[in-house]
Chain A
Amino acid sequence: MSGQPYAKPPIIEVVVEFRFADPLKNAVFKKLVRRLRAPYPSRVEQHTRQAQIDFQNAQADFTDPVPQTVLTSNDEADRLTVRPDMVIWSRLAPYDGWDAFYPRIERDLQVAHEAIGFRKFSRLGLRTINRIDVPFDTDLLARYEDYFTINITAPWEALDHYHWRVERKDPKDGITTIMQSGTVQPEVPNTAAFLLDIDVITDAVPNKIDEILEKLSYLRGIKNSLFEAAITDKARATFA
C-alpha cells in the first residue's frame, strides 16, 4: 500500500461504498449504528426518500423513508453514513492519503463484523472527486486542455461550460468505471474550476473480509491508473 504521492492532492472527496446484498432489519441497523458511533463525535439521524417521476403520465412515486445516520468528525471531514442498505465512508479535503483513510475503513468493518456478524455485500465501490483550479491567462482564458488529457473538441475556440461522462464495464473482471468531468463554480480567485470524478465499482464482492479489502485495493489501483491517465504533467506540477 503506497502513501499519498502529492503534497497537495486535488481530491476534494474520496468515498468507499459497501452495499449489503440484503438490507438490514431495523433492529440490526440500530445496533450497527450504536456500535460504530464511538469514534465519531457528531451524529445526525436522517431519512431519505427516492422519487420516481413519470413524465408521460404526469405522476411521481415516492418510496417510504429510509433511515440513515451520518457520523462525522468535528471538522466534518471524516464521515461515515450508515443505512440499512449500505455503509459509506468518506473523507473530505484535506486528504492525507490512502494510508490515513484506509485504517478507518478497516477498523469500522471489524467493529461492524463483531456487532452484526458477516453480511454479504452486493456492491463495492470507490469514488474520488478531484477539483483542478486552472488559472486564467493574461488573455482571460483558462486553458484546461493543458491540464487534462481527455477533452471535448468543440467547434468553438472557447467554451463557457462543459460536462462529459463516460462509463465502461470491463468484460474480463466485470468492474464498472465511470469518469466524469465538468466545469464547476470557481472558488479560488482568478481561476476556473474543473471536476474530475472517477467511480470504480464491482458487483462481484468476495465473502471474506480480507478478500474484500484486497478487492478494494484492486479498485484503488484502477482508480489511480485512470486518474494519472487523465491528467498532464502540468496538472501534476500544481499538486506538488
Chain B
Amino acid sequence: MKKNSKLSGFYLGLIFVLMYLPIAVVIVFSFNESKLPVRFTGFSLKWYQQLFSDSAMIEALGNSLFLGVVSCLVSAVIGTLGAVGLSRIHWKTKGALEYISILPLMIPEIILGMVMMAFFYMLNLPFGMLTLLIGHTVFCVPYILMEVKARLAGMDPSLEEAARDLGAGPFRAFWDIILPLIMPAVMSGSLLAFAMSMDDVVISIFINGPRLSTLPIKVYTQIKTGVTPEVNALCTIMLAVTILILLIYTAIGKITGRNQKNN
C-alpha cells in the first residue's frame, strides 16, 4: 500500500511540474538579458522598461481594463437583479430565459464571436468599444447570475419577510437585507467575470473592429507574428495581476463562507 501511495504521489508531482513548467518558463525568460528565449544569459529588467514605453501596449491595457470594469459593472446590475427577480416569479418562460441567459457559457466561444459579429453588422453598430462591451457583457452576465442564484438558494426567505414584518417596504427590505447578504456572491461573480473578460481573445477578435485592440488580442498577434521578450514581461505582469485577483477572490470566498455559517 505504501509503495502505491508513493507511486501515485510521484505521478501527481510530475503532472503538476508539467502544468507549471510553461508558466515558470515565461516568468524566467521575462528577466532574461537576451532577446531569444533559448538560454538564460543574465538578469535584466529591460523588457519591462520596453513594455512600459510601448504606447500601443499601454493603450491596449487601458482598453482591456476599461472593457473589463464597465462590462462587469453592467453585468453585475443585470445579473444580480435578474437572479433576485428569477427567484421570485413563477412564469412558464422562466426556465427558458434562465437557459438562454447561461447559454453563452455552454456554446463554443467561436460561435458566440461569429454570431455577434454578423449580428452587429446587421444592426449597423460601429465595431469598437461599444460592440466589445456588449459582447463581453453577454458572457459576463451568466457568471454573476449563477453565483447570485446559488447564494439566494441558500438564503432563508424569512429574512426578507422579517424585514417587511418590521415595517420595511419591498425596496427597503431589498436594500437593507437582501443586497448586503448577496453582495459577496455579486463580488466573486464579478471578479470571475472580470478575469474571463481579461482573458478573452476568441470573442473579442471578431467584434473589436479594425482600430481597437485589447491586451489579449495584442498578445495573441505578437505571439503569432514573432517572439518578443516584451510579451514575456507582459505575461508575467498579467500573471501577477491574476494571482492578485485570485487572492482577493479567495478572501471574499472566506468571508462568504463565514457568512454562510452565520445563516
> Do A and B associate with each other?
no
